[in-house]
Structure formats: C-alpha cells, structure tokens
C-alpha cells in the first residue's frame, strides 16, 4: 500500500485504539453511583479510582512511548489492549473497592498508557503539512469514546447490571482494539513502493529524549499541562453527580459527560484550521483560556441547558488541547523520539489528574459543594496560559537569533 494511503489507515487505527481505551475509562461516570451504593463509599474515595487510572496512563505514557520508539507501536498497543480487556473483565467480579483499584484502576491505567502515546506518536511521521489535521482526526477517537461509551455503558447497566455491563465492554474492546492494534505502524519507509521489503526500524530525524529533557521549552509545556489538568478531569468524574445533586436524573447526568466528548470531537476536528491561522502555541494558549472560562460557567450553572452548553464548550477546548500537544512536540523536536517525548510530557497531566478529582470529591464530602475546587481549577488553567506565553516568546527569540 502506498505511503500516503497507509498513513490514513494508521490514523483510523489510532482513532479506534483511543476510542476503546478512553471510552472504557470515561464510562466511569456511568458506574460512579453503582460504586457508591455497592461499596458504601464516599465521593472522594470513589473518584480516586478514576484518578489512579488516569495517573497511571499518563505516567506510563513515557515508558510506553519509549517502548514504541524501540519495538514499534504494534506490539506495545497489543499489550495495552490485553490490559484493557483484563481490567474490565476482572472489575466485573470485584467484591470490594480495594479490588477495583487492582483491577479497574491499574488495568485501565496500564492499558491506556500502552495504547495512547504509541498511537499518537505513530501518526506523526506519516504527515507533514497535514500533521495537525491527521492528529486531530486520530485523537478524535478520545472524544468519540467519551461521547458514545458512557451512554452505551448506561444502557448496559440498565439492561444487565453494572457487572455484566463491564463484561460487555470487555468484549467490545477485545474485538475493536485488537484489530486496530494489528494495523498500527509508525514507519513510512516500510510502506513505500521502493522499501516494501524493508522490515528493520530506521532512525528518524530529530532530537533524542535526553535532548528534549534538557530544553527549557519542554519544561514550560510540562508545567502548563500539569496546572491545566488539575481541573481538566474534574467534570469527567463529578459532572454527573453535580447534575443529580441539582435534581436531574442519572441518565441526564451521564449525558452531560457524553456531551463533553461530543464537544471534544468538534475541537479536535477544527483545531487544525485555528492552528494554521494563529499558530500552534498561540492556539494552545487559547485552549487553556477557554478551559478556565468554561469552569467559571460551570461554577455558576444550575439550569440543564447551561450545564449542557458548558459541557459542549469545555469539551471543545479540551479536545483542541489534546490534539495540539503532540503536534507541538513534533514541531519542537522532530520524529526521532516523538513517542517518548510525548510520554514524558504527559506525566505532568497525570500528576494534575491525580490531584484534581479526588480533592474535588473530598471537598464535596466535607462542605457539600463543588464551588471551591471548580474555582481553583479555573485559576490554575489561567496560570497555565502564562507558561505558554513565555514559551512563545522564547521560541520567537530563538527563531530570530
């Protein structure tokens, strides 16, 4: 298959891997109430299930990316799918919240960590001018999974109960994720007409991981992502409960989480045009401003239509942020160690995610309100903008030198 054609196959495979991985993770909102009832647990305790999983997938992005750089993304992604399937299957028979930490949290965290970064990294070498668009399409799988799988999980729970719902999700991940992992590839030379017989991995141009870690630009991106992600996943975990507290049904609450996914689809598909017009770093600053502004809207909202508007807009800024990050890494450092660099960069958001949702749940348990954590999350998103502005100035100064 010609290089250009197979590049889009890689995009489709990456989309599917992110669809099943993040869909399984973000379906957590549908199970939140069941976990509280089944295990008589507080919101802070239950929300830690998600945060541990998210911390692991962000933290394991680094070794997952480095493994993909060394062995290729196919083998790493297949291992990730196996972890996802095992996590969902074992979670369906867990008899305590502690066992869910060992099954759901660890399994989902490792599974997403071994599929997300290798998939994002695999897309980058196939494209030049259209890289932002291709990356946006690939990571749109996260938004699609966020939109569809929580609704599917809610339906499954209503039909079969939460344990059988997990078994159904495990089957879905096995079929779709397994096929996508077998199709993923990050070596265009192996797909070219002149290099069809080549099977060895080639050295790609660009900076090494060590070189990237010694650069100021990496750490500016790292701190910005960490700050913004303290609040990024708070709505994923708590928005459904927030809506139920306001008098809406569980299904209406989960639908709001799905609307975040729908909004993120729009953000991922449209960010390429904005980035081409404003530049990728200025566009990233816009995404952080938007996240902070939408968190303030959430803090002020109680009407369902306003919560829905918040969810859509928040999702759009979230999706744009996720789509821009790997392309900015590629712009700054090239393709040589792109998966490893992205993986290490994403440990910062992992730290933010480990902090945000559990603290929000603990604040609610203590004070009966989400107001303080929502406003704190908004302030941190605005602080992240400052680090991006510094990076923009440094980048322009280096280009002019």
Question: What residue spans of 92-215 are helical by DSSP H?
Answer: 97-100, 106-123, 131-160, 162-183, 188-191, 209-213
The model's pLDDT over 242-290, given as tens digits with 9 standing for 90+, comes to 999 999 998 899 999 999 989 988 887 787 777 878 888 999 999 999 9
Measured distance CA(239)–CA(244) in Å, rounded: 9
Kindly indicate the confidence band of residue 3, based on its pLDDT and cuts at 50, 70 and 90: low
Mean pLDDT on 23-44 = 89
Looking at residue 148, what is its pLDDT? 92
Q: What is the pLDDT of residue 180?
A: 94
Q: Give the mean pLDDT of 330-352.
A: 84
- Euclidean distance between CA atoms 360 and 368, whole angstroms: 11
Q: Structure tokens of 20? A: 């099943």
pLDDT, averaged across the chain: 87
Pick from 42-51, 84-93, 128-137, 367-376: least confident? 128-137
Residue 199: which pLDDT band, with cuts at 50, 70 and 90? very low
CATH class of 3-187+206-400: mainly alpha
Bridge partners of residue 206, in order along the sequence:
334
pLDDT value for 200: 47
**Which pLDDT score, from 0 to 100, does residue 232 have?**
93
Q: Which residues of 62-76 are buried (b: 16+ CB within 10 A; e: fewer)?
A: bbbbbbbbeebbbbb
CA angle 55, 56, 62 (to 5 degrees): 105
Average pLDDT over every residue of 307-336: 89
Packing angle between helix 280-300 and helix 304-333, nearest 10 degrees?
160
What confidence category does residue 132 fall into, taking pLDDT thresholds of 50, 70 and 90?
low
Give the percent of the chain with pLDDT over 90.
Answer: 51
Q: Is the pLDDT higher at 206 or at 186?
A: 206
User: Is the predicted pLDDT of residue 130 greater than 90, yes or no?
Assistant: no
- Contact by Cβ (8 Å): 271, 136: yes
Q: Which has the closest alpha carbon to 69: 217, 206, 225?
A: 206
Region of poorest pLDDT, from 122-126, 189-193, 235-239, 300-304 = 189-193
- Both structure tokens of 153: 């999980």
């Amino acid at each position: 298959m010609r290089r250009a054609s197979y590049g889009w196959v890689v995009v489709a495979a990456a989309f599917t891997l992110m669809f099943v991985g993040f869909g399984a993770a973000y379906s957590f909102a549908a199970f939140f109430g069941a976990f509280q009832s089944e295990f008589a647990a507080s919101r802070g305790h239950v929300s830690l299930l998600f945060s541990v999983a998210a911390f692991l997938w962000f933290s394991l992005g680094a070794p997952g990316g480095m493994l993909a750089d060394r062995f290729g993304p196919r083998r790493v992604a297949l291992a990730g799918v196996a972890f996802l399937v095992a996590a969902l299957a074992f979670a369906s028979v867990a008899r305590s919240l502690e066992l869910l930490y060992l099954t759901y949290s660890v399994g989902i965290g490792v599974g997403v960590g071994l599929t997300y970064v290798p998939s994002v990294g695999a897309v980058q070498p196939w494209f030049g001018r259209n890289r932002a668009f291709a990356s946006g399409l690939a990571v749109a799988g996260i938004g699609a999974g966020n939109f569809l799988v929580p609704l599917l999980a809610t339906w499954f729970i209503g039909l079969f109960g939460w344990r059988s719902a997990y078994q159904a999700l495990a089957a879905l991940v096995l079929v779709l994720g397994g096929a996508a992992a077998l199709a993923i590839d990050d070596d265009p030379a192996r797909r070219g007409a002149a290099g069809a017989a080549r099977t060895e991995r080639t050295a790609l141009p660009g900076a090494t991981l060590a070189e990237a870690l010694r650069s100021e630009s990496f750490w500016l991106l790292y701190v910005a992502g960490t700050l913004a992600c303290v609040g990024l996943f708070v709505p994923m975990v708590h928005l459904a409960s927030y809506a139920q507290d306001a008098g809406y049904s569980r299904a209406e609450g989960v639908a709001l989480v799905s609307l975040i996914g729908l909004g993120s689809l729009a953000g991922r598909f449209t960010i390429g045009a904005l980035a081409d017009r404003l530049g990728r770093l200025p566009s990233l600053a816009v995404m952080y401003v938007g996240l902070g502004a939408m968190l303030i809207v959430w803090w002020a909202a109680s009407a369902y239509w306003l919560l829905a508007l918040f969810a859509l807009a928040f999702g759009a800024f979230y999706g744009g942020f996720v789509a821009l990050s790997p392309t900015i890494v590629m712009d700054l450092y090239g393709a040589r160690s792109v998966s490893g660099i992205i993986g290490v960069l994403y440990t910062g958001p992992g730290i933010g995610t480990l902090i945000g949702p559990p603290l929000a749940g603990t604040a609610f348990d203590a004070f009966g309100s989400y107001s303080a954590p929502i406003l704190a999350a908004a302030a941190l998103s605005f602080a992240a903008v400052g680090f991006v502005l510094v990076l923009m100035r440094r980048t322009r100064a280096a280009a002019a030198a």
